[in-house]
């Protein structure tokens, strides 16, 4: 599912940066919700295709939450819970320790139903950006 959500994450990040007149360097890190290995790679490829190169590795909560080698999680994504768990339990602590001061977290989701797939229709996807900053 991460592959189908990557274009939504790309659009949301691009729109956010344009609307706020910021660039990638404004943030210490950009974190996606649950794209997994496939979706994260696709998102990086979409930025490269547009000539936009990230000054840091794009992180993904699903990948950070699970170890695909020891837990057999495939692409490494986990759904919407990954964002809340990883941000609330990991990144928030790093922000309090001043390791990161500005994080853009991009939460992704697919509006999937069995009938959509059975009819061969495209899967509607969505992404929301949340800019979290600490002084």
Contacts (Cβ under 8 Å, ≥6 apart) of 117: 123
Query: For all residues of the chain together, what is the average pLDDT?
Result: 86
The tokens 């899967």 sit on which residue? 123
Q: What is the mean pLDDT of residues 1-29?
A: 91
Confidence category of residue 77, pLDDT binned at 50, 70, 90:
low
CATH classification (class only), 2-129:
alpha beta
Q: How confident is the model at residue 42 (pLDDT cuts 50, 70, 90)?
A: very high
Beta-carbon contacts of residue 71 (< 8 Å; ≥ 6 apart): none
Give the pLDDT band (50/70/90) at residue 18.
very high
How many angstroms separate the Cα of 1 from the Cα of each of 42, 44, 55, 58?
12, 16, 26, 18
- Considering the chain, what percentage of its residues have pLDDT values greater than 70? 90
Q: What is the rounded CA–CA span in Å between residue 23 and residue 36?
A: 24
Residue ranges covered by each domain of the chain: 2-129
* pTM for the predicted model, two decimal places: 0.86
Whole-number Å distance between alpha carbons of 75 and 18? 30
CA distances (Å), origin 113, targets 97, 117, 120: 41, 7, 11
Q: Give the angle 59-64-68 at the CA atoms, nearest 5°.
A: 120
* pLDDT at 76 > cutoff 70: no
Give the whole-angstrom CA distance, residue 130 versus residue 13: 10
Q: Where do the H-state alpha helices sit in 22-113?
A: 36-49, 61-65, 68-71, 81-86, 92-96
């Amino acid at each position: 599912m991460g592959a189908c959500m990557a274009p939504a994450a790309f659009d949301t990040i691009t729109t956010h940066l344009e609307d706020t007149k910021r660039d990638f360097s404004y943030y210490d890190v950009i974190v996606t919700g649950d794209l997994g290995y496939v979706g994260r790679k696709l998102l990086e490829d979409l930025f490269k295709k547009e000539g936009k190169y990230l000054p840091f590795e794009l992180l993904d909560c699903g990948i950070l939450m699970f170890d695909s080698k020891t837990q057999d999680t495939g692409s490494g994504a986990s759904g919407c819970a990954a964002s809340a768990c990883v941000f609330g339990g990991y990144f928030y602590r790093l922000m309090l320790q001043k390791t990161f001061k500005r994080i853009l977290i991009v939460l992704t989701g697919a509006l999937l139903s069995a009938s959509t797939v059975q009819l061969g229709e495209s899967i509607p996807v969505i992404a929301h950006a949340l800019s979290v900053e600490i002084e």
